[in-house]
């Protein structure tokens, strides 16, 4: 019975040494990537109407993108359950964002993965869809330009 226990212990230690060597060589690993549900929006709002030249939000605001609404934006809005994120800058220029699924490439991962320890990765990221204006929101002119002296110090740049 003792010799059998020693044999099991010998195989166990040998297996651990082989697994450690494979891990150090990058051929085997115990970590795996697990996508986790998340909401990347800060100011999420529902879209009730999508047209070629404007979006209507659930709160009644109408967004008019510069150059019209692209097919990519329509597709992302539809895939994100008709929700977008809105950001308004100092000049009242409006940027809308959608959510896009994150692609996790397994190129840097080991060839053999024993899924024991998960690494949580967000399932969605924010992506810029369109830039434009909201009807009734006046365009501000209080944006400060960046003077040349502030960029280069005390001397000016001559061409």
Query: In this structure, what token pair is assigned to residue 73?
Result: 């934006």
pTM assigned to the model? 0.67
Across 153-159, average pLDDT: 49
Across 83-101, average pLDDT: 90
CB-count burial class (<10 Å; 0-12, 13-18, 19+) for 33: middle
What tens digit of pLDDT does each residue of 116-137 get? 889 899 999 999 999 999 888 7
Measure the CA–CA gap between 35 and 120, rounded to whole angstroms: 6
State residue 143's pLDDT score: 52
pLDDT class of 91 with cuts at 50, 70, 90: confident
State residue 151's pLDDT score: 47
State residue 159's pLDDT score: 46
The CA distances from residue 118 to 16, 25, 32, 40, 67, in Å, are 20, 20, 5, 21, 44
Measure the CA–CA gap between 81 and 66, rounded to whole angstroms: 23
Per-domain boundaries in the chain: 32-139
What tens digit of pLDDT does each residue of 46-69 get? 999 998 889 999 989 999 999 889
Measure the CA–CA gap between 133 and 107, rounded to whole angstroms: 41
Measure the CA–CA gap between 60 and 66, rounded to whole angstroms: 19
User: What mean pLDDT is reported for the chain?
Assistant: 83
């Amino acid at each position: 019975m003792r010799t059998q226990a020693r044999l099991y212990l010998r195989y166990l230690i040998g297996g651990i040494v082989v697994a450690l060597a494979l891990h150090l060589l990058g051929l085997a690993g115990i970590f795996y990537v697990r996508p986790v549900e998340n909401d990347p929006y800060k100011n999420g709002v529902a879209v009730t109407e999508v047209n070629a030249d404007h979006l209507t939000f659930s709160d009644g605001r109408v967004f008019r993108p510069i150059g019209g609404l692209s097919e990519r934006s329509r597709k992302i809005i539809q895939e994100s359950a008709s929700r977008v994120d809105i950001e308004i800058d100092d000049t009242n220029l409006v940027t809308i964002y959608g959510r896009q699924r994150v692609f996790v490439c397994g190129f840097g991962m080991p060839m053999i993965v024993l899924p024991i320890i998960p690494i949580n990765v967000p399932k969605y990221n924010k992506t810029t869809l369109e830039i434009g204006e909201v009807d009734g929101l006046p365009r501000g002119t209080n944006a400060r330009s960046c003077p040349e002296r502030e960029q280069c110090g005390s001397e000016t740049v001559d061409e």
